[in-house]
Amino acid sequence: MPAQKRHPTKYPGVYFIIGTAVATGKPDKIFYIDYRKDGKRIQEKAGRASQDMTPARAAQKRAEKITGRILSNKAQREAEEAAKKAEESRYTISKLWTAYKAAKPGLKGIVTDQNRFENYIEPAFGKKEPSELVPLDVDRLRLKLLKTKTPGTVKNVMELLRRIINFGVNKQLCEGAGFKIEMPKVNNIKTEDLNPEQLKALLEAIEQDSHEQAGAMMMMALYSGMRRGEMFGLEWRDIDFDRGFILIRDPKGGVDQTIPLNDAAADVLKNHPKVEGSPFVFPGRGGNQRTDINKAVGKIKKAAGLPSSFRALHGLRHVYASMLASSGQVDLYTLQKLMTHKSPLMTQRYAHLRDEALKAASNLAGDIVASITNDKGKKVAGIDDRD
């Protein structure tokens, strides 16, 4: 293709050729500048007349490039390419989160963590590398969240941030934050219970409710102490009616465990209908694993008149544990195994109930002695109950 004719202007080193406007297809002046920089001759495009370029502006740009105020087109491209490569190798908090999820497929609680990341961590730190964080940044986020969120929620957000950073450091993708991320103090040792009247009202509400699964799940929580997530993942193959056991796969403690299937829980399951084509005992839509049932169990809780703070499923797990502990017939080690607590510290919250039951039992000794003493006293005084 022959070279296009160059048209000089009154400005030294500025010329144009006739091209075609991109938008209209009409003839268009394309301005070029010609100059020397560090002994090298540079010829490059300055711009189009259709995009507001003029000979005077082209001359101004030429002067700025000669003096070094702006880079040549080639140098600009090289700088942009270098910046792009640097950005690609730069592991920001957002990029680390993406890598973290890819490295841990099927991670438990990923939906909740994703919401925490998108709502709290990404807006504040998403574009920063861990090494760019300073303690004041994290403190501001922590204090801001504490104004509207519970300490437990804030702790979960801070813990997720720390987990993301630790992942990057362990994989040698980035440097650490350089300081310890402080966690808010949380007192989440909450033991929920129901008095006999409340429990009776709940059982009546379950009996009257039409939901096919909500009531059965509440009864299973009450009779077996199973967690909500454990019931969501429970399959019919995990239930051994003959031997009387339930297999809990991948529980909160980490390792598969079995818990006894008592008669009351067995009756609930035997009377619970199976969904054709689904392996789950309490399946969700399409027979897939259930992920939520808050609305249905909340309706039953409301019908029973229970406090709004009472957690419909987890609260009944506490009721199960409280009943066993207060009976005085179950030691804390056995209770820990029934509750599938990984640490005995979690079971200690029920210790006072067991202690009170044992104290009440020990008081029987004093009552017995007192009754014997009273009987002897009456006989000495010549008093006979038969009179």
Average pLDDT over residues 335-359: 76
| Positive or negative: CA dihedral 338, 342, 343, 347 | negative
Q: For the chain, state the CA radius of gyration.
A: 37
49-72 pLDDT per residue, tens: 999 999 999 999 999 988 888 887
Q: Where are the domains of the chain?
A: 7-88, 93-170, 196-352
Measure the CA–CA gap between 260 and 32, rounded to whole angstroms: 85
pLDDT tens column, 26-37: 999 999 999 988
- The average pLDDT across 304-333 equals 87
At 256, list the tokens: 């598969």
- Please compute, for residue 317, the number of CA atoms within 13 A of its CA located in the half-sphere on the CB side: 18
Q: Is the pLDDT of residue 375 over 80?
A: no
pLDDT at 3 over 60: yes
pLDDT at 377: 55
Distance between CA atoms of 248 and 228, rounded to whole angstroms?
Answer: 12
* Beta strands at 27-37 and 257-260: parallel, antiparallel or unpaired: unpaired
Residue 216 near residue 282, CB atoms below 8 Å: yes
DSSP-derived letter for residue 322 is: H
Within 10 angstroms of residue 234's Cβ, the number of other Cβ atoms is: 25
Percent of the chain whose predicted confidence (pLDDT) is above 90: 47
The whole-number average pLDDT for the span 85-94 is: 74
* pTM for this entry: 0.52
Backbone conformation region of residue 324, classed left if phi is above 0, alpha if psi is from -120 to 50, else beta: alpha
Q: Could you give the 3-state DSSP secondary structure of residue 125?
A: helix
Residue 250 is predicted with a pLDDT of 74
- Read off the pLDDT band of 98 (50, 70, 90): very high
Least confident piece of the model among 236-240, 296-300, 373-377: 373-377
Alpha-carbon span 231 to 220, nearest angstrom: 8
Residue 86 has pLDDT above 90, yes or no: no
Closest-CA residue to 222 (of 108, 79, 319, 87): 319
DSSP 150: -
Residue 382: what pLDDT?
54
Comparing 75 with 253, the larger pLDDT belongs to: 75
Amino acid code (one letter) for 187? N
Q: What is the pLDDT of residues 269-311, one digit of tens each?
A: 999 999 999 999 999 999 999 989 999 999 999 999 998 888 8
Sequential DSSP letters for 24-48: T-SEEEEEEEEEEETTEEEEEEEEE
* Alpha carbon distances (Å) from 229 to 24, 115, 302: 63, 18, 22
Residue 15 burial (CB count, 10 A): 20
Question: How does the average pLDDT of the chain come out, rounded?
Answer: 85
Q: What is the pLDDT of residue 386?
A: 47
* pLDDT value of residue 60: 93
Compare 181 and 356 and report the one with higher pLDDT: 181
**Considering the domain 196-352, what is its CATH architecture?**
Orthogonal Bundle (1.10)
> Could you report the per-residue pLDDT of 157-209, keeping only the tens digit for each?
999 999 999 999 999 988 898 888 888 776 555 567 788 899 999 999 999 99
Asked whether residue 1 carries a pLDDT value surpassing 50, the answer given is no
Are the CB atoms for 261 and 245 separated by under 8 Å? yes
387 — pLDDT class (breaks 50, 70, 90): very low
End-to-end CA distance of the chain: 136
pLDDT of residue 77: 78
Rounded to whole angstroms, the maximal C-alpha distance in the chain is: 141
